[in-house]
Amino acid sequence: MNKLKNKNGGKHSTETSKSKKETNNENPENKNQKTKVKKSQTKSHNKTAKIVIIAVIVILILAILAIILFNIFSKKVKDHVQLELGTQELKIQDFLTDEKYAENAEFVTDISQIDLNKVATYEITIKLNDKEYTSILDVKDTTAPQVKFQDVDGYTDYQINPEDFIAEKTDASNMEVSLGNEVTINGFGEYHPLIIVKDEYGNETSQECLLNISYIKSKFILEYGNKLTKEDLLFNVAEYQDTINQQDIDTINSYDIGEYDLKSVYDGQEKITKITIQDTIAPELVLKDVTLYTEQSITDTNQFVEKAEDLAGVTLNILTEIDYSIVGDQEVTIEAVDGHGNKTSQTAKLTIKEDTEGPVFSGISDLKVTKGGTADYKKGVTAKDGKDGDVEFTVDSSSVKLDTAGTYYATYTATDKAGNTTTSKRKIVVSEKSTASSSSSSSSSSGDVYAKADEFIAKATSGVSGTANKILAIKNYLRNNIKYSHRYNASNTGSVNAAAMKAFTAYEGDCYIHAAAAQVMFTRLGVQSIIVNALDYTHYWNMVYINGGWKHVDPTPGWAYADVGFMNDAKRLETLRRINGYEYRDWDRSKFPVAN
């Protein structure tokens, strides 16, 4: 068997060798033919690829041309546009088929002449890419009125008025309210009138409402703080007052806001009335401006508040973040919230300024001393600083010779913590002993005038609280009780104390007498104040330091100053020039502080 196998294997090997030899000895012509076929196939493939590429390019070109032609010839502006009556604004986008065109589009028509609150048709011209198009605009009313209906309570004599059943109604055009069915009232009970609200273009809204005919209202809204009475509820109090227990009303009047049931009984039938107590009234808030110095800050919201009142109590909040680094004015918003959440807000001015002003002296009037006597230079004199309050002061009287008759001057000096210094000179008159009685009278008059001033203050400020209110009360008291006359004036009274004494005893005098009386009273009240004079000395008035700043106050009677209280510089100038012939009036601003 092995021999047979080997023999067959040898034969197969011989045949394979022969096949290879035949292949190697293949005819050259056959080889050339095969090569040509291969080259032909390659050229055919290349040609097909080129055709495909060209076809793709042609398709892309055609697509681009199609897009270009579409953009050129497609409709960009609408032929017709309809807007609802009452539309707020006419927009270019309303007329374009695609908002992308809006960037290059504009109205040629003057659209300010288009009334969108009137039904009408307009021809609108629009320019797009330098080409003009025409579109028709129709303003139409297709919207029915928006209506909030309400039920109505009435007595047997009630005549149906359709408007009574309307709580609110809105529409872009005029509306009419009418009754859509026949309703006959024939006693207590419920009736159902159909109320129709139609606009002038025929759009309508309707609803069947409830009419409750009874001796008492089915509901009542009571504002917090008001008292509920039978008159609020009963249509005929005289006939039906016994249907309600007064104790039940008193109980409801003790309640806070909320909804409560009030029972009434008539002819054996019990009826419930819904009582709603609500608080819709915001607090009353009155603010005042505040002036601070650098390095100071607001420590209490009430610094801005003149008045904050509400029956439910008030909580105050500062809504503005105050920037204390700003020197100058800034607005500060204060919010008042009552106990039921009603809010109101007001704005006040906060002025932050650097401390560059020195203290102000009060009570420095001429001092008369008898030769050989003594002088109390500090009696009745104060120095107050806008930031530091009362400050110490010194008196240099080294040039005054009390043993020699004559006129001398003492120098008063006060310095605040910021180093601002104020000096003021005081006239010291030393008289011979022959005028002792007169001098003594003048010297001792300070005590007398202060006593009189205290009497006047007590009368003027009776029942008045708060320094600011007391200042105005003093001003008004002098206006009303000291007659204006030229009998006593600056030329015949002299010192402030003497002039004030004339006001307190003679009850008459000119503007200087009024200002002097106010000055002494303000000083006794503990208020820093000064007397200001017009440039030509035709008028005198006062300035007071209150709530961190200076204000003008005029105690002189007369219509020109009757309607003013505290005044800033601008208001003072305006009132000063009210009287014909005095339009030129002013004062030396360099000698007196600024009133903002």
449 and 586 inside one domain: yes
Q: Are 145 and 171 in contact (CB under 8 A)?
A: yes
The pLDDT confidence band at residue 29, using thresholds 50, 70 and 90, is: low
**pLDDT for 556 beyond 80:** yes
Share of the chain above pLDDT 70, in %: 89
Other residues' Cβ atoms within 10 Å of the Cβ of residue 264: 22
Share of the chain above pLDDT 90, in %: 72
203 and 238 inside one domain: no
Per-residue pLDDT at 596: 87
Per-residue pLDDT at 103: 93
314 and 255 inside one domain: no
Token digits of residue 390: 């009362």
Per-residue pLDDT at 39: 65
Question: Residue 64: inside a domain, yes or no?
Answer: no
294 and 239 inside one domain: no
- Average the pLDDT over 6-11 and give the result: 44
What is the number of domains present in the chain? Answer: 6
Question: Residue 290: inside a domain, yes or no?
Answer: yes
The CATH number assigned to the domain holding 135 equals: 2.60.40
Q: Are 453 and 380 in contact (CB under 8 A)?
A: no
- Average the pLDDT over 220-239 and give the result: 96
Give CA–CA dist 504/568, Å, rounded.
28
What residues make up the domain containing 91?
80-140
Token digits of residue 585: 């009036």
455 and 406 inside one domain: no
Per-residue pLDDT at 371: 86
Per-residue pLDDT at 70: 60
The pLDDT confidence band at residue 35, using thresholds 50, 70 and 90, is: low
Q: Which of 165-179, 409-423, 559-573 has the lowest mean pLDDT?
A: 559-573
Per-residue pLDDT at 68: 67
Other residues' Cβ atoms within 10 Å of the Cβ of residue 20: 10
Q: Which residue has the tokens 């600011």?
A: 468
The pLDDT confidence band at residue 494, using thresholds 50, 70 and 90, is: confident
Torsion of CA 487, 489, 491, 493, to 10 degrees: 90
Per-residue pLDDT at 30: 60
How does DSSP assign 151-184, residue by residue?
-EEE-TTPPP-GGGGEEEEE-SS-EEEEE-S---
**pLDDT for 416 beyond 60:** yes
Per-residue pLDDT at 32: 61
Per-residue pLDDT at 432: 83
**pLDDT for 85 beyond 70:** yes
- Average the pLDDT over 37-60 and give the result: 79
469 and 525 inside one domain: yes
Question: Residue 32: inside a domain, yes or no?
Answer: no
Per-residue pLDDT at 324: 95
Q: What is the pLDDT of residues 210-229, one digit of tens each?
A: 999 999 999 999 999 999 99
The phi-psi region of residue 258 (left if phi > 0; otherwise alpha if psi is between -120 and 50; otherwise beta) is left
The CATH number assigned to the domain holding 471 equals: 3.10.620.30
448 and 587 inside one domain: yes
Please give the C-alpha separations between residue 437 and each of 408, 431, 445, in angstroms, as whole numbers: 20, 10, 12
**pLDDT for 536 beyond 90:** no
The pLDDT confidence band at residue 523, using thresholds 50, 70 and 90, is: very high
The closest alpha carbon to 529, from 412, 386, 377, 413, belongs to: 386
Domain boundary among the residues 92, 107, 140 is at: 140
375 and 469 inside one domain: no
Token digits of residue 195: 């109320």
Q: What is the pLDDT of residues 419-443, one digit of tens each?
A: 999 999 999 999 886 433 333 344 3
The pLDDT confidence band at residue 15, using thresholds 50, 70 and 90, is: very low
157 and 254 inside one domain: no
**pLDDT for 114 beyond 60:** yes
Question: Residue 365: inside a domain, yes or no?
Answer: yes
* Secondary structure class of 251 (helix, strand, coil): helix
Per-residue pLDDT at 40: 65
**pLDDT for 388 beyond 60:** yes
Domain boundary among the residues 431, 458, 475 is at: 431
Amino acid at the residue 438: S
Per-residue pLDDT at 42: 66
Please give the C-alpha separations between residue 434 and each of 347, 369, 376, 430, 440, in angstroms, as whole numbers: 64, 12, 21, 12, 11
* Secondary structure class of 269 (helix, strand, coil): strand
Give CA–CA dist 6/242, Å, rounded.
142
Domain boundary among the residues 191, 213, 235 is at: 213
- Average the pLDDT over 64-86 and give the result: 82
Give CA–CA dist 107/239, Å, rounded.
71
Q: Are 131 and 101 in contact (CB under 8 A)?
A: no
The pLDDT confidence band at residue 11, using thresholds 50, 70 and 90, is: very low
Q: What is the pLDDT of residues 166-196, one digit of tens each?
A: 999 999 999 999 999 999 999 999 999 999 9
Question: Residue 459: inside a domain, yes or no?
Answer: yes
Question: Residue 31: inside a domain, yes or no?
Answer: no
The closest alpha carbon to 386, from 411, 412, 413, 352, belongs to: 352
Mean pLDDT, all residues of the chain: 88
The CATH number assigned to the domain holding 344 equals: 2.60.40.10
- Average the pLDDT over 536-553 and give the result: 92
Regarding pTM above 0.85, the answer is no
Please give the C-alpha separations between residue 548 and each of 196, 298, 350, 371, 510, in angstroms, as whole numbers: 63, 12, 11, 43, 30
Question: Residue 380: inside a domain, yes or no?
Answer: yes
Give CA–CA dist 38/26, Å, rounded.
18
**81-116 burial, b for 16+ CB within 10 Å, e for fewer?**
bebebeeeebebeebbeeeebeeebebebeeeebeb
Amino acid at the residue 338: D
The pLDDT confidence band at residue 316, using thresholds 50, 70 and 90, is: very high
Residues 6+ positions from 331 with CB-CB distance below 8 Å: 320, 347, 348, 349, 350
Question: Residue 186: inside a domain, yes or no?
Answer: yes
State the pairing for strand pair 421-431/367-370: parallel
Please give the C-alpha separations between residue 505 and each of 368, 378, 456, 500, 517, in angstroms, as whole numbers: 21, 26, 11, 9, 11
**pLDDT for 560 beyond 80:** no
Q: Which residue has the tokens 């973040």?
A: 321
Per-residue pLDDT at 338: 96
The sign one gets for the Cα dihedral 2, 5, 11, 15 is: negative
Give CA–CA dist 105/111, Å, rounded.
14
3-state helix, strand and coil shares in percent for the chain, rounded to the nearest 5: 35, 30, 35
The pLDDT confidence band at residue 347, using thresholds 50, 70 and 90, is: very high
- Average the pLDDT over 509-529 and give the result: 94
335 and 288 inside one domain: yes
453 and 570 inside one domain: yes
557 and 453 inside one domain: yes
Q: What is the pLDDT of residues 241-274, one digit of tens each?
A: 999 999 999 999 999 999 999 999 999 999 999 9
Give CA–CA dist 464/470, Å, rounded.
6
Per-residue pLDDT at 50: 86
- Average the pLDDT over 136-160 and give the result: 96
- Average the pLDDT over 513-527 and give the result: 94
